[in-house]
Structure formats: C-alpha cells, structure tokens
Amino acid sequence: MYVAVKGGKRAIDNAHRLLAEERRGNKDVPELTLDQIREQMTGAVDRVMTEGSVYDRNLAALAIKQARGDLVEAVFLLRAFRTTLPRFAASQPIDTGKMTVRRRISATYKDLPGGQLLGPTFDYTHRLLDFSLAEETGDHLPPADTAPADVGRAMPRVLDQLDREGLIESEVPTDNIEPGDLTRDPLSFPVDRSVRLQNLARGDEGFLLALAYSTQRGYGRNHPFAGEIRMGEVAVEIVPEELGFPIEIGEITVTECEMVNQFSGSAEAPPQFTRGYGLVFGQQDRKAMSMALVDRALRARELHEEIEAPAQDEEFVMYHSDAVEAQGFVQHLKLPHYVDFQSELELIRRLRSSFQGQAPAPAAAE
Amino acid sequence: MLTDAQDLKPGFPDPVPDAQWAFRGILHAMSYPGRITQAGLALTPPRSLDQAAAAIGLSLFDFDTPLWFDRPAVLAEATNFFQFHCGSPSVATPGEARFAIVSDAAQLITLEVFDRGTDEAPDRSATLIIQVPEITEQAEGVTLSGPGIKEPLSLCIDGLSTDFWRQRRALQSLFPRGIDIVFTAGSRFIGLPRTTLVET
Amino acid sequence: MDTISQSPDNFHAASGSYNFAYLDEQTKRMIRRALLKAITIPGYQVPFGGREMPLSYGWGTGGIQVTASVIGPEDILKVIDQGADDTTNAVSIRSFFAKTTGVETTTETAEATLIQTRHRIPETPLREDQVIVYQVPIPEPLRWLEPRETETRKMHGLAEYGGMHVRLYEDITRYGKIATSYDYPVIVNGRYLMRPSPIPKFDNPKMDQNPALQLFGAGREKRIYAVPPYTSVKSLDFEDHPFEIQTWDQDCAICGSTDSFLDEVITDDAGGRMFVCSDTDYCGQRMAAHDASDETETNQ
C-alpha cells in the first residue's frame, strides 16, 4: 500500500541542526568571533552592509558568521532584520566634500589640490599568495608611514573644478525633491535618479560589475574617466523635529566614485562632460566604480541617447540587480512543482500521442 | 490643531488586535457590498464621528493617507483625533485626499472632485467614508448587484442628496477608474466599491 | 562608528519581541489599504511596498505578507503547497505563523478560516467565512508576451488583450489544442486579464463565483490582487475550442476519488506508477469517512 511522504517538519528541524554543525566546523578549531570578522573581514563586512542597506559593522559580522561566509545569504539576513526596524528620522545628505579622506585618487589630473592619496588599496599589490600570513604574524608589522599633511587637508572635489569651467553638466539641485525609497514603495518606471542610485547601491556587486564591464566593451559605450574616487569618514546628521537644526549622530565610512563621461551633445544640450555616480559603505572601489558606470549608462533616456545595450535598459537592470530577490526566485525552483509538472506531463503525452496518431498514453485524457 | 489633551478621545484600547479586527470588518464589507456589517469594538470617538468611521480610520489611516473633511468646523475634533492617533495630514482640496470623511452627505459637493485614479493606476483613487443617519435593508431602496453580491439586494440609505445616486451611476462607466465608498451609521456600515452596480 | 542602527544588544531584545504576525503595524496598514483597492478593482495588480521577509523571495513572501496583514488571533490557518499540508515549504510557513501569531493551525480545509496556498485550490468547496491567499511567483499574465512593465501596464489600462488570444490560438493551429496546462489565464469580472498563479487549469473553474474571498500576493514583484466573492472568473477560450480541464482514466489509488486532481507517483524503476490525490486533506477525509463506515458495518 502506498503511503504519501510525511515528516516535513522533522526533516526541516534536522536540516537546521546539520547546518549549525556545518557552520561550526571542526570543534578543535576555536570559534570565529564577531570582533574577528568585523576587524579582519572588512571587505565582506562592507559589502554586506552596502547591499544589506544597514550601516552596522557588528550586525554585518553576525550575518556573515551565521551565513557561513556566504555573502548573498548574509545580505539577506541583514535585509530581513532591517525591515523590522522602526524609522526615527531621515538623515541630511552627507557631504563627501567634508570627508576625512583616507584615500583619494583621480585618473583625470596628475596632481590637484589636496593631492593624490593612495591609502589602503590592493591596486599595486602583486597578487602573490603571502605565505607569511599563514603564520599569523600580522601583529608584528611595522606601522605604515603616511604623510601627516595628507590627512585632514582640504580636498575639493575634482568634478567641482570642471563644473566651475562649465565643462561638465551641473548637478540638478534636488533640495526640494523628496528622494524615493524602494524599501517602502515598489519600483515604477520611469524612475528618478535617487531611486536608481538606491537600487544600484543595494544591487549585487557581481551583476553591476558585469554590466559596467559590458559598457566598456561596446554594449552602451560611454567613454568614462575615473574623475575621482575617495574613501574616508563622513558625518551623518539629522534634524530632530523638536530642535529644528541638524545634529551629528555618528560617522560612517564611504567610498564615492565620480565618473566623467564624454558626451557629444544633442539638439538640447551642447557638447560637455556628463556624470556617473557611485556611493557605497566602507571601502569598495570596485562596487562604487561599477555603480557609477551603470548609473551613467542608465541616463541614456535622459540624455536622448539610443538605448541599445542591456546596461542602458532601466527595467532590465533595476528589476534584476537585487541579489536577494534573484537568489530567491532562482532557488525557488527547488520547491516542489509536481502539480504543475503533472499538468505538463499529461499535456505532452497527449500531444505526442496525437502527433504519432496512436492511442492515448496511459496517463490521462481530456 | 490640538486644543486640549482632555478633549482628545482615546484610540484603540489594544491597537494591534483591534486594528486587525476592524480591518477584517472593512475587508468583509468591501468583499460583500451592501451587507450591513457591525464594527464590533467599543470605542469612544469624538461626537462628530461614528463608531464605525472611527474604527475604520484608526485601522487604515497614517501619515501616508491625506484626509479631507467635508465640514472642517463640525469635524474639528475628528481631524485632531486622526492627526493625533494616526499622524494623518488633512488637506483642503478633496482631490488630494486618499480618504474623505463626509458628515453631511445631503450637502456633499459632487463626487467628481475626488481622485478616481487613472486607467493605468486605478488604485490611486480616493475612498469616501460617508456618515449617514441610518442604513436599512428594504425593498424600496436602491438595488445593488455586481462582484461580491450573490443575489441583488436592496437597501435604504438615509441622508443622501437627491442627486447622489445619479452621480454614483455616472462613475460606473469610468471603470476601472472610480471611487470606493463606505457608508457608516453608528456602529453599522456597508461597503460600496466601484464595481457595485446601483439601480434606483 | 556604529551609531546608525541598533547594536547587537538591542538586536537580541528585538528578536524576542517581533510584532504579532511579524510585520510592523505601518506595513500592515499599507498592505491592508492595497488589499481593499485590490478588491474594488478585481484582477488588477496593485503595486505595494513589499518588504523583505525572513523567508526567501519566490518562496511565498507575497502570500505571507498578505496572510500576516489579514490574520487575527481567532483565525484557524491552513497552509498547503501542491495541495499537501506536509510539503516542506508548507510546513515551514505554517510554523512561521504558529510562532509569530500563536494561532491555531489545521490541515482540514473545512475547519480553516484562512488558507494560504501554493499551486492548488482545495477540492473541498470554500465558504463565505473563509479567505484563501495564493502565493504568486509572476503576477503579470502578459509577461511572456511583453517583458516590460511599462508596456504591460498600458495594455491593462486599455484592456488590450488581443496578443494573449493570438498566442493561445497559435497553440491550436500547431497542436490542435491550447498547450497551457497550468497558470492558465483568466478574465476577471469581464475586465482584467489575470494570472491565477501556477494552479493547474483543473482548478480554474473553482475560482468562478466562489463564495470565499480570494487574495493574491506576489512578494518579489510587489503586487497584490484579488477576486472578490461571487465574481466571474472566465478562462480564456474560443468558441470552436472551449476551455477544458484535465481528467484522468485512473481513480485515486488511495481513496478511489474519480474527480480530484491526481499526482503521478513513480513506484519502481520499471515504469510502474500510480495516481493519488494531490489534495492530501481531501484524500484523508475520504479515507476517514470510508473507515468510519467500515467500522459501523463491523459493529452491526
């Protein structure tokens, strides 16, 4: 006698236990602490905070630990936590011009006020495995020399220089436009730039990297220059209703990328440089640059450029950029589909039997 | 504006379950148009506000729902009530309102002033809460049919202007655009979504 | 530096005190307003500010958000996936609500006041005092014809559904019949083209004039729609090719039902198979009734 499969609950409970064991690994090895992840896995922490839309290094570290280092899963954990948080206030726009800069480079000028400041970067490392790290001797490294004058020096933004000359489009003032928030309102097209930038900031780094790369290979070419990339600490301010003036509530680390793009002009606009913008939490040059390139590509409609490449197609990019949405829907194919499959099975048997002009297959008939 | 804390009537005694209960009432009323539903919560709303209107408002209003009141003077207390408990802004132009509270339907300006949404976004339209003296099931009244109504039913709704039903019928041809109405009488209320066809 | 959000200490406090049905009240109000508009415009997809849920997108987050906004302490909840109460995702969603609401759960269709479903409508007819919530992966019926939301929105605005008829008719030209067996498009209240979610077309007739309220939630796509009770739901067809549902030559191998949707189960590696009810409650009820009558007979 056939008995339908039961015991879903027990299977799930056991799967959770197995997952916990797998996460812990060999118990002879000391357990990871959140402090270790927060301090020594900063690349992962920064990515999880950015795509998770929460600036909290401790929570990101917890999510990474819980997710066994699976960063998309960690982003998901952080997002699901974020949904439940009450909203106290909206911050004032951060002023990256007042950033305490730890890294600042421009590819468009050899030297500029404030200078080039390399900061902590992989850029000129030789990608040779450093076996000395396997010895855990990092504590004995000599401190790095930084020119004391570099830090805290005023660093005007490169693009403001071009703006003064009128060579680059002026940023449209958005002081009176309430920025959108796609964690509260669903996407609806066409979107304004604030929503686009939010979508890209939360977007999967791999997806944005590939799209940005595609624009460099001719799929929506927009002739970019890395006008400026800066990383450092900026103050976050809010204006409490009862005070009516801004107060500083903390400081966050961000990476900002401003791309300068060639633009040949159109019927409405003279030839000038245009902008692409990227901003992410922590230090993530790659993500910030990808974001800036895709932001610029997505301005095709606004700049009356022909929309011909995937990176220029806002519905395509914005509906598919979110790793949390994408992973869920791709992986939902693991869920049972046997009712749908049964329907297809029945259909294909009938179509085949009428194709072959034979008697109906044993399964079913309409 | 808030006059005196003592004037302010309390909201839901137990907000989470009360809001859910009130919502199920309005969900039922909109699903089965014309069926008289009881707002089964004992509230002490401002005098100008029906029990049912208060319960519906407390469960659905917040800072995302601009409100319009047909008689600002009469409904001043109600305005404060929803501003305090829900944080809802009140607007002077009916076309900007998500919800409108109407306390004197006989004097109601035309239904045309409310937002009926667009063909592409018909959900962005107003919902009217019209307080009337009495709603009774009786054959002489208007006859309702449409989604949610198994057999056509007849109702008498007091206190409406003579022109009201003509205006409401004129909206029917605009579907999917339209406005949705809840009539309240004390703690009793009915839903009249835009899909309901009315015969007088 | 970590001053923007709550610290882990607060997190531990918060994790023990989620709101009733998990969602915060502000989110519930937003969803409740969307649900009401969905009922007043049957079959129209209302955009809503879908939230991230602690379950994965594509795994029922839309249905969960709708259920969470509707459910109250008095409700009795049933959750099914593919018609069965004991499939892993149904178990997972049921335990999510049991944990966050404490409501009573059931596997019996007749006992439930609220039913969340994926891919089936129960065989037992629904009643007026019941609400059914469908999990929807892709809400847009025109999506395979037109991938752009901006375009499909216009098509719905103009009720421009000719393309869908053409697509179905192409099937007839090619195969002699419509080759869509699940998620079969319907017209609601004579106006909106709607996806019934991936239920088999076998279930489509159950949607028509149903006494229960039918709600649909698509979490990832952030859309909510509804079919009010006693509303016309018509499966698309042609005069010369009327809509038909699947039938089986076999009866259910367990309960002997001749009129329920059957799943095919492979029993060995030599092509052996059997057919059993996909609705496990329906099958179980029939068996229980059968056993009871057997017992009565024995006792006599």
B144-196 confidence digits (pLDDT tens): 999 999 999 999 999 999 899 999 999 999 999 999 999 999 999 999 999 99
The tens digit of pLDDT for each residue in A149-176 reads 555 567 888 888 888 888 888 877 666 6
- pLDDT value at position A138? 61
Partner C contacted by B151 (CB < 8 A):
no
The tens digit of pLDDT for each residue in A180-195 reads 899 989 998 889 899 9
Contact A366, C246 (CB under 8 A): yes
How many residues can be counted in chain A?
366
Q: How confident is the model at residue A221 (pLDDT cuts 50, 70, 90)?
A: confident
- pLDDT value at position B155? 95
- pLDDT value at position C219? 95
Residue C17 has pLDDT above 70, yes or no: no
Question: CA-to-CA distance for B9 and B6, rounded, in angstroms?
Answer: 8
Q: Give the distance from residue C199's alpha carbon to the nearest chain A alpha carbon, in angstroms.
A: 7
Average per-residue pLDDT for chain B: 93
Average per-residue pLDDT for chain A: 88
Residue A117 has pLDDT above 50, yes or no: yes
In a domain? residue B166: yes
Residue A118 has pLDDT above 80, yes or no: yes
C residues 110-149 lying closer than 8 A (beta carbon) to B:
128, 131
- pLDDT value at position B2? 46
Partner A contacted by C7 (CB < 8 A):
yes
Residues of C with catalytic function: 43, 252, 255, 277, 283
**Most confidently modeled range among A268-272, A301-305, B3-7, C166-170:** C166-170
Query: Tokens standing for C10?
Result: 């607060």
Contact B97, B152 (CB under 8 A): no
CB contact under 8 A, C36 and B26: yes
A-interface mutation test, from C52, C181, C201, most A Cβ less than 10 A away:
C52
Partner B contacted by C29 (CB < 8 A):
yes
Residue A362 has pLDDT above 60, yes or no: no
Could you give the C-alpha distances from C50 to A170, B186, C28, C38, C47, in angstroms and in order?
A: 35, 35, 10, 15, 8
**How many other C-beta atoms can be found within 10 angstroms of the C-beta atom of residue B140?**
8
Average per-residue pLDDT for chain C: 91
The tens digit of pLDDT for each residue in C104-120 reads 999 999 999 999 999 99
State CA A263 to chain mean position distance.
26
Residue C218 has pLDDT above 80, yes or no: yes
Residues A89-98: what's their mean pLDDT? 90
Residues C60-64: what's their mean pLDDT? 96
> Helix (H, G, I), strand (E, B), or coil: what is residue C193?
strand
Q: Give the distance from residue A158's alpha carbon to the nearest chain C alpha carbon, in angstroms.
A: 27
CB contact under 8 A, C58 and A251: no
CB contact under 8 A, C40 and B148: no
CB contact under 8 A, B27 and C30: no
Partner B contacted by C40 (CB < 8 A):
yes
β-strand partners of B191? B182
CB contact under 8 A, C253 and A2: yes
CB contact under 8 A, C61 and A328: yes
Q: What percent of chain B has pLDDT over 90?
A: 86
Question: CA-to-CA distance for C138 and C197, rounded, in angstroms?
Answer: 7
Q: What percent of chain C has pLDDT over 90?
A: 80
Sign of CA dihedral A23, A26, A27, A31: negative
* Cβ neighbours of C84 in A, within 8 Å: 4
The bridge status of strand B99-102 relative to strand B127-131 is parallel
CB contact under 8 A, A336 and C89: yes
- pLDDT value at position A267? 74
- pLDDT value at position A6? 62
* Cβ neighbours of B179 in C, within 8 Å: none
Residues C213-232: what's their mean pLDDT? 97
Please count the residue pairs, one from chain B and one from chain C, whose beta carbons lie less than 8 angstroms apart.
104
Partner C contacted by B40 (CB < 8 A):
no
Q: Which domain holds residue B183?
A: 14-199
Using the 8-state DSSP alphabet, how is residue A98 labeled?
G
Question: CA-to-CA distance for C25 and C22, rounded, in angstroms?
Answer: 9
Residues B94-101: what's their mean pLDDT? 97
Q: Which residue has the higher pLDDT, C69 or C12?
A: C69
Residue C43 has pLDDT above 50, yes or no: yes
State CA A26 to chain mean position distance.
33
Question: CA-to-CA distance for C181 and B163, rounded, in angstroms?
Answer: 50
Distance in angstroms between the alpha carbons of the first and the last residue of chain A: 28
Residue C298 has pLDDT above 60, yes or no: no
| Sheet arrangement for strand B153-157 | B135-136, B153-157, B142-145, B197-199
Given B30, B120, B149, which is nearest C154 (Cβ)? B120
Residue A208 has pLDDT above 60, yes or no: yes
- What is the pTM for the complete model shown? 0.89
Q: How confident is the model at residue C11 (pLDDT cuts 50, 70, 90)?
A: very low
Q: How confident is the model at residue A106 (pLDDT cuts 50, 70, 90)?
A: very high
> Helix (H, G, I), strand (E, B), or coil: what is residue A101?
strand
Question: CA-to-CA distance for C88 and C109, rounded, in angstroms?
Answer: 19
Task: List, in order, residues 6 or more apart from C1 with CB less than 8 Å away.
Answer: A57, A233, A250, A251, A252, A253
CATH number, position B160? 3.40.50.11310
The domain over range C8-144+170-235 is classified in CATH as 3.40.50.300: no
* Cβ neighbours of B26 in C, within 8 Å: 36
In a domain? residue B73: yes
B-interface mutation test, from C25, C40, C223, most B Cβ less than 10 A away:
C40
- pLDDT value at position A137? 65
Q: Which residue has the higher pLDDT, C72 or A340?
A: C72
For chain A, the domains span: 9-82, 96-120+152-172+180-324
Partner A contacted by C119 (CB < 8 A):
yes
**How many other C-beta atoms can be found within 10 angstroms of the C-beta atom of residue A349?**
16
Residue A268 has pLDDT above 50, yes or no: yes
CB contact under 8 A, A328 and C248: no
- pLDDT value at position A146? 67
Domain count, chain B: 1
Q: What percent of chain A has pLDDT over 90?
A: 57
Query: Tokens standing for B1?
Result: 């504006």
The tens digit of pLDDT for each residue in C132-141 reads 999 999 999 9
Residue A286 has pLDDT above 60, yes or no: yes
Q: Give the distance from residue C261's alpha carbon to the nearest chain B alpha carbon, in angstroms.
A: 28
Q: What percent of chain B has pLDDT over 70?
A: 97
Residues A5-23: what's their mean pLDDT? 86
- pLDDT value at position A37? 98
Q: Look-up: residue for tokens 């699947």?
A: C246
Q: How confident is the model at residue C14 (pLDDT cuts 50, 70, 90)?
A: very low
> Helix (H, G, I), strand (E, B), or coil: what is residue C45?
coil
